Chain A
Amino acid sequence: MIPIEFYLVLSAFMFITGVVGVLTRKNAIIVFMSIELMLNAANLSFVTFSSFLGNNIGQLFVFFVMTVAAAESAVGLAIIIALFRNKLTINIDEINILKW
């Protein structure tokens, strides 16, 4: 039997890695991938609790999270494409018109 803490620590670590990726990378697509990493960490946490508590609500929620993640990545990548067409770059630092 693996204690619950191991799963949760793993989930936390993946989450933090995703956060660091979002905050530091300059390439927009890498940022998106880090976001997916964060979502997966959350999914892992849900499934862990669902399994340990004997309730399938967690897994149902994971189902919906995946749906939303899929939709979001589709739209997000479409936006990146549109952005690329206009600015010819996907470096986040150069997409900064909404500033002082």
Chain B
Amino acid sequence: MIQLIYLTVLLPFAGFLLNGIFGSKIKNEKVIGWIGSGTIGLSFLIVVGAFFETLAFPVEQRQHIITLFNWLSVGSLNVSIAYQVDQLSLTMALIVTGVGFIIHVYSIGYMHGDKGFWRFFAYLNLFIFAMMNLILADNFVLLFLGWEGVGLCSYLLIGFWYDRKFEKSTTSDAAKKAFIVNRIGDFGFLLGMFLIFLTFNSLNFNEVFTRANALNISTTVYSFIAIFLFIGATGKSAQIPLFVWLPDAMAGPTPVSALIHAATMVTAGVYMVARCSIIFASAPAIMTVVAVIGLVTALFAATIGLVQNDIKKVLAYSTVSQLGYMFLAMGVGAFSAGIFHVMTHAFFKALLFLGAGSVIHGMHDQQDIQKYGGLKKYMPTTYKTFLVAAIAISGIPPLSGFFSKDEILWSAYANAGFIYWFIGVVTALLTAFYMFRLLNLTFEGKHRFDVQHIHPHESPNLMTIPLIVLAVLSVLGGFIGIPEIFSGEHGNNFHGWLEPIFANAQVRLAQYGSHTHFEEILLMVLSVVGAAASIFFARHVYLKNQKIAEHTASKFKGIYKILFNKYYVDEAYDKAIVQPIYKTSESLLWKITDVKLIDGLVNGTASVIDFVSGKIRKIQTGVAQTYAVVMMLGIVAALFWIIYSL
């Protein structure tokens, strides 16, 4: 199965071609949907097979490279289309194909009746193709190809309903924003790649990382490389300062939000940092930057999510916040903890989004939670799975979110210091609060809509079964990463599985002393108690006594306004960056460079040629004697030459 790993990339591409070329002719939705889902399902099976095969190998031999062909061979740059099957890429591949398959099946039900049904599945398959390329690549160039590919698919899918309005502009504007902001990050990534090639003379992962391990290169070089790579990661994974595209990306259909903007694409940045762990570990200053930005983003987004009224917006900011946690983990050197959180987050965030989609579907495209209320009796399955996900994300044991979030918080305390842990815990409390605010306002309490005219209904099986599967995973998924204090000498299974990848990086990082088990358990208990308290407080406010919420809002009107308007970040960017660029483009680049210079050059060349040829054509007089004169002049010249040579 390991040898067939390239099929996991090619099968989705084949699905894209099939649905893309023939999709508009196939009138049967089921066929299109199952072609789209079937390719991903097959890929998932192949990945599972490869996973078990890899398990059978001893730890030192768990990396396999499957080369398809040599792509670029220029000087010392050798880039092949080759796929690297090792523990990290297998983990990511399992997440992508597994959760991807579930979401594809869900989409068959969600997108029912849409006139662009075939286009949707074609784009989804293309996305999986690009994402698999990104994850399985064995060199930076192929990774970058996947990186750009997922950016493209994100653009295509956000703007899927291209004729719809979205907030103050259109869905295409949201799609363009995503693409452009991503591009800014990609610029940083490219600079990082150039520096890597300059320093290590190669872009192949194995070559670069072995050289990084062996050679003695200054920390400054590593810092520059790391910061550029991290800029790329902030773009793709929506951290400060390039997170602004993710809330706008909610203009796309909900399965898109679930797949791309929760489970897979936004984790590409985290994966990239994990893959380049040794580079980051060699630049301690940048590790601090990563951790701080992750932490600040987590807190920042959580505060915004507190007051949003659109169900998908809350989840979007929640995603930004959880991604901040993952980068916090990376920044403090707990790489496998970060990947663990990627996995569990994929489960419960996808579940949350799909559940939200179910609600939106049932409420006939209404997304404002102020118009929800009491839906649990109309949509029981959705309610139950949503509840499971909310508990998981709040970090209540024994669900998966607890294990991954707790490991991150513990690593922050142990490796970085108290303040990191403290802010992390505050964010966790906020997470629990806004999540249960969302749950209570949507499903519990009294109806805030007109029951006579709007009949909410449960979604069909095709949509609820994926919800149930994801709920099970959210509950059970954490058990592979039980920390050492509980599982004794077995150690943390997940951590052990990924350890060889990060071994070199861990050596680079100095361990900040040792801590006792007691501290760990104490902190764990504190965070769980705090989360539970948040949940109850949310319940109290939004179910029993809503006046508290309104009272607080009116008392702190200023803060409320700032939070509601997302700290005015979009407006600030618009004023500071977008408008000046727009004005410069219009006045300088368009009116002067384009119209005067370039058009002038092109038209000017034409008119010069016109003028000159107008003069030259008079040579053709039509009178033979003129030509004879010219011939004689030629003979004069020839005779001069003969005389000269005599």
Contact = CB atoms under 8 A, between A and B. Distances in A.
Interface stretch (B240-248, B286-294, B528-536, B620-628): B620-628
A10 interface: no
B555 interface: no
Given A100-B617, A100-B618, A23 B628 contact: yes
A29 to B, nearest CB: 14
Interface string A70-84: 000000000000000
B625 A23 contact: yes
A53 B617 CA distance: 49
B632 A100 contact: no
A99 B627 CA distance: 12
A95 B620 CA distance: 13
A93 B621 CA distance: 9
Given A19-B632, A23-B629, A23-B632, A100 B624 contact: no
Interface string A16-49: 0001001110000001000000000000000000
Interface in B345-395: none
Contacts of A93: 623
Contacts, number: 31
Contacts of A57: none
Given A19-B632, A23-B632, A99 B621 contact: yes
B622 A92 contact: no
Contacts of A99: 620-623
A99 B617 CA distance: 9
B115 to A, nearest CB: 61
A98 B624 CA distance: 10
Contacts of B625: 22-24, 31, 92
Contacts of B624: 92, 95
A19 B493 CA distance: 106
Contacts of A96: 621-623
A45 to B, nearest CB: 15
A24 B618 CA distance: 20
Given A22-B628, A23-B628, A23-B629, A92 B617 contact: no
A33 B635 CA distance: 21
A70 B625 CA distance: 22
A24 B620 CA distance: 18
Given A100-B617, A100-B618, A92 B629 contact: no
Nearest to A26: B625
A1 interface: no
A97 interface: yes
Nearest to A28: B624
Contacts of B628: 22-23
Residue from B617, B621, B625 having most chain A Cβ neighbours under 10 A: B625
Contacts of B623: 92-93, 95-96, 99
A100 B614 CA distance: 10
A22 B628 CA distance: 8
Interface in B616-645: 617-618, 620-625, 628-629, 632
Nearest to A22: B628
B117 to A, nearest CB: 64
Nearest to A31: B625
Nearest to B617: A100
A27 B580 CA distance: 76
A22 B632 CA distance: 11
Contacts of A98: 620, 622
A68 B306 CA distance: 107
A92 B629 CA distance: 14
Contacts of A19: 632
A90 to B, nearest CB: 13
Interface in B77-119: none
Contacts of A100: 617-618, 620-622
Given A22-B625, A92-B624, A99-B621, 4 more contacts: A95-B622, A97-B622, A98-B622, A99-B620
Interface of B: 617-618, 620-625, 628-629, 632
24 contacts: A22-B625, A22-B628, A23-B625, A23-B628, A23-B629, A23-B632, A31-B625, A92-B623, A92-B624, A92-B625, A93-B623, A95-B622, A95-B623, A95-B624, A96-B621, A96-B622, A97-B622, A98-B620, A99-B620, A99-B622, A99-B623, A100-B620, A100-B621, A100-B622
Going nearest first, the 9 A-B pairs with the smallest beta carbon separation are A99-B622, A96-B622, A100-B617, A100-B620, A98-B622, A99-B620, A96-B623, A23-B629, A99-B621
